Amino acid sequence: MNPFNPVPPERTSRFRRGPGRPRRQADSGTARPGATSRLPLALLLAVLLPLLLMPLASIFVFAGRDGLRGFLQTLAQPDAQFALRFSLLIAFATALFNGILGTFAAYVLSKYRFRGRETLNVVVNLPVAIPTVVVGTSLLLLWGPIGLLGQFLDPLGIQPMFAPAGVLLAHLFVTFPYMLGAVKPVLDELEVTYEEAAYTIGANRWQTFFFIILPALRGGLFSGLLLTFAHSLGEFGATVMVSGNLRLRTQTAPLYIFAQFEAGNIEAANAVAAVLALLSFAIFMLLQRFTQQRSTRGS
Amino acid sequence: MHRVDQLNWRLLLQRVIILCLAGGLLLYAAWPWLPGRRGPAVRTIVLYGFSILGEMMNGAVFPEFQAEWEARTGERVELVSAFSASGTVTNQMILGVPAEVAILSLELDALRLVEAGIVPGPLWRDLPHGGVLNRTPFIILVRPGNPRAIEDFADLARPGVGVVHPDPLTSGGAQWALLAEYHSVRMLGGTDAEAYAQLEAIWHNVVAQAASARAVRTQFESGFGDALITYEQEVLSDRWRGRLEGEIVYPQSTIFSEHIVVILDRNIAPEQRELIDAFVEFLWSETAQRIYVDYGFRSVDEHLNAANPDFGLIPFPFTVDELGGWPQAKREIVDGIWRNQVLPEVGR
């Protein structure tokens, strides 16, 4: 099991089972019966309420304050629309790029044996551990006009930083491990017999990859893409460093929220925050549903 | 066999729905960039400014310029802008953001641009009014009803008064405030020693500090301290929005902050030159200066300021020029007195 894997499939499905029948069965087996067994649950809820649930709820309470019309009007402002669209486009592009790159990396790391494989394994997972602000800084120090490479590119008129390309670079960096984390465990556990069978009937590496491995990876690919997309949508730390925060040009939705909040336009900030929250909920639900489905089908 | 078929249908339907949703989202995101949707390329002006300008620039000043330019040339131009703390904006420009025009909250930041080689020299001094776009005095904000009876900076030096102050190490506003706390004494006839005593006593009373003028505002609103030293403009704009909880106290003597316009020639393409020059010229036009007054800034044209009845009277105002300009004021007062003498004394 990959230690950096953000969503181990079995864990999440058990975690998500919710108040349905299977859980009660499990409870009666381990917990003491009667009223005492409710106390821990009540305590947990009492802690979670101010910690998680109330802050999230307040976004929507505030968003609904001026009514739906006010909410939609705030949302319809050109810079809010731009920020949302730009964020979504970057998220799609990031998911596409890292979908391909991450799968390739997972394939190489899982199927090939070479010296330094473990080191490389750690390196590609590093972005999970590095603070995103540090990622932003490091990108600036490489590609920025005073950066190691940037100082040679700048005279040629190539300026990746403070432009959409810079935002994409930052998101690719930050979200790289998610695809890998979703795909590699599946690849690691994939039985080699199918592959071997394919080779024995004369398939080459590419054919084996496309017809044997890729179909088996579908689940991992899907959850990896969703995770990458969701993380890209919410990325702030690295983006704020490299985007230049230009309204209508490089301002992503999280940056818009922050800028509007700072300027005291809480309604504008909150409207976009509510949309982002809803989108993430949707993605998360999809992911949960999907992993649950897979684990029940698998068992 | 039948069950499996059913399951597959449901699965298929689910997949189609998910695909449609994802496709819809992509379509929505890409809509303005789709071929045929894009109008002819629109020329833009890239403006970076310090935080309190944002609303006024995007909401009033630029639309006015846009209309004027369109009437004159028939061309529609757009503003691309970013607003943040003055120091942050300056750092971004040093790192290379493509700003064409910048408006900074104090000349020190502009001088940092010169130092970093972003601007060849203090060229803003050749602009109208020496590059000063507008001004706003530093005032004292107190709790409703003024329970501590604070009438001037001297009252902030009284023992037991809690002062909330932005951090001069990061905030431009805080540096203006320091000059006001110190030099106002001398403006009212006091000696250097008395000025020093007041600055030190005020700093003994500082109960909370935050990185920016805006952050410190939040601290004050959440209940810290009895008084806050801040821009008049910010307090006025809050009052007009009905958000002000507190009262403005106008000191007898205080500093007027001066906001500087910097043109970044190296980021301006030759074909942009005329547009940028027209925009900068517009910033000092009477139309624009009137907008500043409407938004609570004091215009550089004194006679326009009468239009705003909310501006309080300050009998003995001063600017940083009386202290020999920013480099000297920074050296002598901010660094020489506050950092080297007051800070060690109050033990921060």
Q: Are A139 and A161 in contact (CB under 8 A)?
A: yes
pLDDT at A60: 84
Tell me which residue of B171, B178, B244, B176 sits closest to B214, measured CA to CA: B171
Inspect the interface and report whether the beta carbons of A244 and B32 lie closer than 8 Å: no
Report CA Rg, chain A.
Answer: 23
Class of the CATH domain delimited by B135-257+312-346:
alpha beta
Inspect the interface and report whether the beta carbons of A248 and B55 lie closer than 8 Å: no
Inspect the interface and report whether the beta carbons of A246 and B80 lie closer than 8 Å: yes
Average pLDDT over residues B4-17: 76
Inspect the interface and report whether the beta carbons of A262 and B214 lie closer than 8 Å: yes
pLDDT band, very low/low/confident/very high, at A295 (cuts 50, 70, 90): low
Q: For A110-122, what is each residue's pLDDT tens digit?
A: 888 889 899 998 9
Q: For B147-198, what is each residue's pLDDT tens digit?
A: 999 999 999 999 999 999 988 877 788 899 999 999 999 999 999 999 999 9
Tokens of A109: 């790391």
Which residues 115-174 of A are in CB contact (within 8 Å) with B?
140, 144-146, 150, 154, 159, 161-162
Chain B positions touching A243 (Cβ under 8 A) are none
* Coil, helix or strand at residue B142: strand
Report which DSSP code applies to B311: P
Inspect the interface and report whether the beta carbons of B51 and A251 lie closer than 8 Å: no
Class of the CATH domain delimited by B44-134+258-307:
alpha beta
Among chain B, residues having any CB pair with chain A shorter than 8 Å are 18, 25-26, 28-33, 44, 46, 51, 54-55, 58, 78, 80-84, 92, 95-98, 214
Query: A67-298: which CATH number, 3.20.20.70, 2.40.10.480, 3.30.70.20, 1.10.3720.10?
Result: 1.10.3720.10
Lowest mean pLDDT among A250-254, B43-47, B120-124, B221-225: B221-225
Tell me which residue of A238, A225, A283, A235 sits closest to A98, measured CA to CA: A225
pLDDT at B4: 53
Lowest mean pLDDT among A89-93, B132-136, B316-320, B340-344: B340-344
Domain range annotation of chain A: 11-63, 67-298
What is the rounded distance in angstroms from the CA atom of residue B233 to the CA atom of residue A22? 62
Inspect the interface and report whether the beta carbons of A88 and B214 lie closer than 8 Å: no
Inspect the interface and report whether the beta carbons of A263 and B54 lie closer than 8 Å: yes
pLDDT at A62: 81
Distances in whole angstroms, Cα of residue A145 to Cα of each of A173, A243, A268, A287, B96? 19, 13, 33, 40, 6
What is the rounded distance in angstroms from the CA atom of residue B9 to the CA atom of residue B232? 67
Q: Which residues contact B6 (CB under 8 A, 6 or more apart)?
A: none
More confident call, B187 vs A159 = B187
pLDDT band, very low/low/confident/very high, at B38 (cuts 50, 70, 90): low
pLDDT at B348: 54
* pLDDT reading at A56 higher than 70: yes
Tell me which residue of B218, B210, B211, B179 sits closest to B195, measured CA to CA: B179
pLDDT at A202: 86
- Please state whether B159 falls in left (phi above 0), alpha (psi between -120 and 50) or beta: beta
Q: What are phi and psi of B74, to 5 degrees?
A: 80, 5
Tell me which residue of A125, A108, A99, A118 sits closest to A3, measured CA to CA: A125
Q: For A214-264, what is each residue's pLDDT tens digit?
A: 888 888 999 999 999 999 999 999 998 898 888 888 999 999 998 887 766
Q: For A85-132, what is each residue's pLDDT tens digit?
A: 999 999 999 999 999 999 999 999 988 888 989 999 899 998 988 999
Chain A positions touching B31 (Cβ under 8 A) are 85
Tell me which residue of B304, B200, B242 sits closest to B192, measured CA to CA: B200
- The one-letter code for the residue type at B98 is P
Partner residue opposite B82 with nearest CB, options A82, A140, A244: A244
| pLDDT averaged over every residue in chain A | 83
Tokens of A126: 């590093």
Whether A39 and chain B come into contact, CB under 8 Å, resolves to no
pLDDT at A25: 44
Q: Are A139 and A241 in contact (CB under 8 A)?
A: yes
The number of residues making up chain A comes to 299
| pLDDT averaged over every residue in chain B | 89
What is the rounded distance in angstroms from the CA atom of residue A205 to the CA atom of residue A54? 52
Q: How many CB pairs (< 8 A) connect A and B?
A: 70
Inspect the interface and report whether the beta carbons of A88 and B26 lie closer than 8 Å: yes
Whether A26 and chain B come into contact, CB under 8 Å, resolves to no
Partner residue opposite B95 with nearest CB, options A88, A146, A251: A146
Inspect the interface and report whether the beta carbons of A161 and B96 lie closer than 8 Å: yes
pLDDT band, very low/low/confident/very high, at B6 (cuts 50, 70, 90): low
* Bridge partners of residue B48, in order along the sequence: B82, B102
Lowest mean pLDDT among A25-34, B72-81, B272-281: A25-34
What is the rounded distance in angstroms from the CA atom of residue A129 to the CA atom of residue A132? 9
- Please state whether A173 falls in left (phi above 0), alpha (psi between -120 and 50) or beta: alpha
* pLDDT reading at A210 higher than 50: yes
Distances in whole angstroms, Cα of residue B218 to Cα of each of B55, B211, B213, B245? 19, 11, 9, 12
Q: What are phi and psi of B210, to 5 degrees?
A: -140, 165
Inspect the interface and report whether the beta carbons of A247 and B30 lie closer than 8 Å: no
Q: Which residues contact A109 (CB under 8 A, 6 or more apart)?
A: A117, A120, A121, A124, A180, A184
* Coil, helix or strand at residue A222: helix
